[in-house]
Each structure stands twice: as structure tokens, then as C-alpha cells.
Amino acid sequence: MRELIDKLHREKVLSKAEFVELLKGFNKDDAQYLFSQSRALADELFGKKIYIRGLIEFTNFCKNDCFYCGIRRSNHQAERYRLSKEDILSCCEQGYALGFRTFVLQGGEDPWYTDEKLIDIISSIRRAYPDCAITLSLGEKTYEQYRGYYKAGANRYLLRHETANAEHYAKLHPPAQRAEDRQRCLYHLKEIGYQVGTGFMVGSPGQTTEHLAEDLLFIKKLKPHMIGIGPFIPHKDTAFAKFPAGSLDLTLFLLGLLRLMLPSALIPATTALGTIHPEGRELGILAGANVVMPNLSPVWVRKKYELYDHKICTGEEAAECRHCLQGRLQKIGYELVVSKGDYVER
């Protein structure tokens, strides 16, 4: 296993068969060996600094029906909400005061927010915060729509490919949602000039090691600026309620591999990772992640944006999470930075 890890470090890619061998065969010592390299690489490139992004979950209406997701259209238990432009701007104001310089507007695919409304929201944030990055996470749109948001002032876009394997994608989504559409969107976003983030869930129902190897190779090919991965976590009101959550050790191992494969990438220690283990986010940082994305949404909506059960931080104010994270990072020798934290090829 160590030879394969060394080879990945050197050559920044492995074959599918080699990835499968690594992912099937690694033990605790191999993982420690990987993390010592992935963490050292992140430290060398970013110092002991962790970027912070403020997540604003502005709508949980969604026209899609992803089988794993708590806010899927057919979950009639979900209590739906939408934030107004004023609500969103006030999240940004609070966030700015707390040192956030990236605002992530994330929501379900909600046609109520027409392009006109979205462009008004984006340009208002752009005017008020010229020194901040605006990240969108609004799902699949046309090239023209993406371009419109970009021109209005958005800089980055998060859209996980979820799984690179089309058959597996079809097990996680209804037929109207297709892996190739999702992947085409990612190439459009890159072409327009966004810094692009993609990613996948670890341990989603039906996922094999081969699928994970394909995910790694898809990411290598796309060369995104950001990569978000986290364990699948069941949600009680979905068809996948009875499936087990993804594994902490496998998620951390994949984080380490991603750092070696794309050294400059911005990789968050995700909320899902913090949900399956009390120190999940810290462990993510120690495996090679360099971003955290606490919530800036108003507390009254947080419980309602439950993509999976037992999501952390649904009762805390933005300021509480900001300080909690600062303390957690300090304990492991890292600090939060006040910075836009753009992608830089290093």
C-alpha cells in the first residue's frame, strides 16, 4: 500500500485498478502513512491556515427527487421555507462582521427564484461586499443562466457530481436526473470562468470501490478548484432511511488521496463528517482538508434544511459556530483566516 501512496504523491494519479487496490486494502497504518503526507503537503502549501465559508441555505424547496436527500420533492414531512433578499443580505452582514469573506448561497432547485430574482440578489451582494467571493450552489441550470449569474457577480459554483458512474447515479436519482447532465453543467461552469467545486458522498447505497475509483478519476479529469466529500447519512423520511451511514475511516482516507492528487484544491471538512463523529471535522483537517463551511442561515430555518438526520449546528447562531470552530482548530494547531481564499495554483 505504501508504494501506491508514494506513487500517487509523485505522479498525482493512479490507474483505476491501483485506486481499487488501495481503497480495498488499506489498514490503519496505511491511513496514518497517507495522512502524514497529505497533511504535510497541505501545511506546506497553505500554512496552518484554514479558510472559512459562510453557508446561507436560502430555500429548501426543491423540484428534484434525489433518493438520499431530506429535502427531496416527495418528502411531504419537510417544512418548506424561502429567505427573502433582505434575509439573505442580513446573513451576509452578520457574516462579514464575523470575518467571513465568502458567502455560499445554497438551496434546492427552486423555480420560485427566477433568474431575475437571483440576479438581483447576487448583484446586491456584489455591490455591498466588493471584497467578498460569492459562491452559488443552486443545482443544474443552462449555460446562459450560469453566465447570467457570473456576470451579476458570482465567482464560484458548487455542484457535486454525486457519483461518476452513470448506473450508480441512476440508483440514487429518478430517471429525469442524469449523470451526464450533471457532468455537462460542471464543464459549462468551468468554461464560463467560475471556480468550480464538485464532489461525492462516501458510502451511498449501492456504491462499490470501483465507483469510488471512478469518482477519483473523474475529479482528476475535471480538475475542479474545490472538492467536497462527506459520508452518506440516512434521512428518516427517504427511501434510503434504512441504509447505514458511510464510514469515517474511508471518507478520511479519500480526503487524503484527494489532497495528494490535487495539491492546490480547496477541500472542506464537511458538516456531514462532523455529524458522524464528534471530531469529524478536525480529523478531516488532519487528513488534508483546508476549508470549513459553517452555517450563516438564520436559526429559525436551520432544522428545516436537513438533508440527513442529526445534522450538527442546527441550534447554534452563526457567531457560536464561528467561535466553536476557532476553538476546535486551535486545539489541533490551526487557525481560521479572514480571507476570500481564492484558488491559487501552487
> What residues numbered 191-210 form the site for ligand 5AD, per CB under 6 A?
201
Indicate whether 234 belongs to the interface with ligand FES (CB under 6 A).
Answer: no
> What residues numbered 34-63 form the site for ligand FES, per CB under 6 A?
none
* Pick from 107, 211, 205: nearest CA to 158: 107
Q: The cell 427527487 sits on which residue? A: 65
CB under 5 to 8 A by kind: which of ligand FES, ligand 5AD, none does 230 bind? ligand 5AD
Indicate whether 233 belongs to the interface with ligand 5AD (CB under 6 A).
Answer: yes
Q: Residue 63 to residues 11, 132, 138, 212: CA-CA distances in angstroms?
A: 42, 30, 11, 27
Indicate whether 272 belongs to the interface with ligand 5AD (CB under 6 A).
Answer: yes
Per the CB < 8 A criterion, the answer to whether 83 and 106 are in contact is no
Among 66, 233, 325, 329, binds ligand FES (CB under 6 A): 325
Q: How far is 102 from 133, CA to CA, in rounded Å?
A: 5
Among 232, 253, 305, 334, binds ligand 5AD (CB under 6 A): 232
14 secondary structure, DSSP code: -
Looking at 13-21, 207-215, 229-237, 297-305, which segment touches ligand 5AD (CB under 6 A)? 229-237
| Cβ atoms within 10 Å, residue 151 | 12
Q: How far is 167 from 30, CA to CA, in rounded Å?
A: 31
Burial 121-146, CB ≥16 within 10 A → b, else e: bbbbbeeebeebbbbbbbbbbeeeeb
Among 23, 257, 313, 336, binds ligand FES (CB under 6 A): 313
Q: The cell 437571483 sits on which residue? A: 118
x/- contact string, 285-324, with ligand 5AD (CB under 6 A)?
Answer: ----------------------xx----------------
Q: Which is nearer to ligand 5AD, 39 or 173 (CB)?
A: 173
Indicate whether 69 belongs to the interface with ligand 5AD (CB under 6 A).
Answer: yes
Among 123, 316, 342, 343, binds ligand FES (CB under 6 A): 316
Indicate whether 83 belongs to the interface with ligand FES (CB under 6 A).
Answer: no
> What residues numbered 129-188 form the site for ligand 5AD, per CB under 6 A?
160, 162
CB under 5 to 8 A by kind: which of ligand FES, ligand 5AD, none does 162 bind? ligand 5AD
Close Cβ partners of 327 (under 8 Å, ≥ 6 residues apart): none
* Pick from 98, 88, 81, 97: nearest CA to 126: 88
Q: Which is nearer to ligand 5AD, 68 or 100 (CB)?
A: 68
- Residue 100: what residue type? F
- Provide, rounded to whole angstroms, the least separation between the CB of residue 133 and ligand 5AD: 18
- Provide, rounded to whole angstroms, the least separation between the CB of residue 313 and ligand FES: 3
Q: Residue 269 to residues 55, 95, 211, 240, 281: CA-CA distances in angstroms?
A: 14, 19, 22, 24, 5
Quote the cell numbers at residue 265.
484544491
Q: Residue 155 to residues 126, 175, 298, 345: CA-CA distances in angstroms?
A: 10, 31, 24, 16
Beta partners for residue 102, in sequence order: 133
Q: Which is nearer to ligand 5AD, 4 or 216 (CB)?
A: 216
At residue 21, φ and ψ (nearest 5 deg) are: -60, -45
Among 233, 321, 329, 336, binds ligand FES (CB under 6 A): 321
x/- contact string, 293-312, with ligand FES (CB under 6 A)?
Answer: -x------------------
Interacting residue ranges for ligand 5AD, rule: CB under 6 A: 68-69, 160, 162, 201, 230, 232-233, 235, 272, 307-308
Interacting residue ranges for ligand FES, rule: CB under 6 A: 294, 313, 316, 320-321, 324-325
